[in-house]
Structure 1
Amino acid sequence: MAHGHKPGEKIVYVGDSRVRMKTERMKPTDYSAYPGKSEAFIPNFLLKEWMVGVVVLVGILALVMSEPAPLGYPADPTNTAFIPMPDWYFLFLYQFLKYPYVSDQYIVLGTAVVPAIAFLGLMLVPFLDLGPERRFYKRPITSATMFVTLLAIGYLTYVSWHHYEEELKAKNIIPEHIKREQEMEAAKGGGGGGAAPKAGAAKKAAIVAADDPGAEIYKKATCVACHGGELKGMPGSGIPALLGVGDKLSKDDILGVIKNGKGNMTEQYKANIAKGLTDADLDKLANWLAMQKAQ
């Protein structure tokens, strides 16, 4: 046959050259066929994973016991100077929702639509990226999407924290957990034990003449929004307590602060007049505040 076909030559086929079609699916080889290279998932592999998880958990527990949680003061809804911040792993979302195109009237876009698209994309990756290649530089679309996402998360996290630090400096605010820790250390150094007062020496003072007409005017004035109903101010925010303010300021001085402001506090005269108070009311208010002296 190799030298050409001759007429009348008899051709004999040896065996059956046809390829038979397989009628049953190929069964994968059992892991036991690869000694030293594979193992049973349960319990061998799962036990190893559990042991790694236990080691990580013990490390976290040791960190928790060695470094106490940085706690601030109890929540104060009247503290308008407090700057709320989420945990570090949510900072990028916190910053993302500050932008105008995903907030205000577009808040649904930022809180529902964009996260839904992101999660849907993650769910569809196994169905869209069907290439057999495992090296990331051989999968440009998937790899590029991953790197862009990581860069965006890193950038938003940095910007969020940078803005927070700048805001603290601008408002001259010490974070509550830092201020509280400083007060506890100062109390320990002064022999006062581990407990630190929330508002320093002002905590020892009490409200004077609580039934005075000026006390009722105070509840209607703008002062209560910052200094609080108990006159304790806002620790860590630069807003002083009004308990004992009469030892430092006279009635005329207090009226001057209301009309002209002082430090970071702007004048409050126009705002109080707009709330319906009169000059006589502000005079009674200043007189009552001047009565607040340490006992």
Structure 2
Amino acid sequence: MKRGKGLTFVGDSRIQKYEKPKLNRDYSEFPGRTEEFWPDFLLKEWITGAVFLIGFLCLTVAHPAPLERIADPTDTGYIPLPDWYFLFLYQILKYTYASGPFNILGAIIMPGIAFTALLLAPWLDGVKERHWKKRPVATGLMLVSIAIIFYTTWESVAYHDWDQQHQQGQITFSNLDADDPVFNELIRTNCTSCHGGELAGGSGPDLIAPELAPEAVEAFVTNGSGDMPAFEGQLTEDEISQIAEFVAGLEEVSADEATNTESAE
């Protein structure tokens, strides 16, 4: 320990006295290990950001987001699909004890417990070791969680009816008149829940593309067919006849024809 000159006494401590003020060391003292913020470091950051941005734009152009028809709150036949990072939760809601009467368990309680555990992890895990091999409980729980998320996401993608998903959101141009009283008073309340808000298909088949005769439509509505219930007794013969005439008159039109019709109206 140095004594005498060069020492400054502060209370009971001895602190080295510096002739020059202590300043941050110049970056040039560390050749090859550091660089100037401007322009070297900032330029690299800009180039990296530009590469990712251009890559993202290329992916967007190559695989644009699908455009679906206008959302209709009365169309209960439309089954929305969440983004890929929520597919595991979507799949969990299909299981027996997480759906139907147990929806609260699958939609709120189970995810709530998982996310609460993540928030409380710093307090629940008091182990001082940082290496994952020396933390078997935390490591095991994390591996199990990753396995569950991976499996349920895969299962949701593998067993989803993608053809129906594409069909139910597909834009269809037709001569359907949404202001027609028959559509508003009869079809919207009895048909759109299964056949879609524009009758282009949902959980039930498309009613626009096939050429249906009024007699065939009237027979289906009266007696039912397959999963379709019979409406005899719920609707009068005159109402069933009006629905049959309306549906039989539906046909697909081009986008230009649909635009011209809307403009004329």
After TM superposition, the score normalised by the length of structure 2 is 0.61
- Change in CA separation of 1:226 and 1:83 when aligned onto 2, cut-off 3 Å: closer
Per-residue CA deviations over 1:200-221 (Å, capped at 9, x if unaligned) read 5xx2x355x956xx66762576
1:175 lines up with 2:135 in the alignment:
no
- Counterpart for residue 186 of structure 1: none
Which structure 2 residues correspond to residues 1-295 of structure 1 after superposition, within 5 A?
A: 35=30, 38-39=33-34, 51-99=47-95, 100=97, 103-106=102-105, 107-121=107-121, 123-124=122-123, 128-131=126-129, 134=131, 136-165=132-161, 168=162, 173=164, 175-176=166-167, 180=170, 198-200=171-173, 203=174, 205=175, 207=177, 210=180, 218-219=186-187, 222-227=190-195, 232-235=198-201, 239-241=205-207, 248-251=212-215, 253-262=216-225, 266-269=228-231, 273=234, 277-279=235-237, 281-283=239-241, 285-286=243-244, 288-289=245-246, 292=249
- Change in CA separation of 1:221 and 1:137 when aligned onto 2, cut-off 3 Å: closer
Identity %: 26
- Deviation at residue 158 of structure 1 after TM alignment: 1.1
Paired residues, number? 227
Paired AA for residue 268 in structure 1: A
- Deviation at residue 157 of structure 1 after TM alignment: 0.7
Per-residue CA deviations over 1:272-292 (Å, capped at 9, x if unaligned) read 62xxx3445435544x44773
- Looking at structure 1, the residues matched to 188 and 199 of structure 2 have their Cα atoms a distance apart, in angstroms, of 16
User: Mind listing any 5+ residue stretches in structure 1 that lack a counterpart?
Assistant: 1-22, 181-197
- Looking at structure 1, the residues matched to 190 and 159 of structure 2 have their Cα atoms a distance apart, in angstroms, of 28
User: C-alpha root-mean-square deviation of aligned residues, in Å?
Assistant: 4.5
Larger Rg: 1
Task: Judge conservation of contact 1:254–1:290 (CA < 8 Å) in 2.
Answer: yes
- Looking at structure 1, the residues matched to 63 and 154 of structure 2 have their Cα atoms a distance apart, in angstroms, of 24
Task: Judge conservation of contact 1:258–1:269 (CA < 8 Å) in 2.
Answer: yes
- Looking at structure 2, the residues matched to 215 and 154 of structure 1 have their Cα atoms a distance apart, in angstroms, of 45
- Change in CA separation of 1:137 and 1:240 when aligned onto 2, cut-off 3 Å: same
Per-residue CA deviations over 1:257-284 (Å, capped at 9, x if unaligned) read 113334x5523325x62xxx34454355
After TM superposition, the score normalised by the length of structure 1 is 0.56
Paired AA for residue 240 in structure 1: D
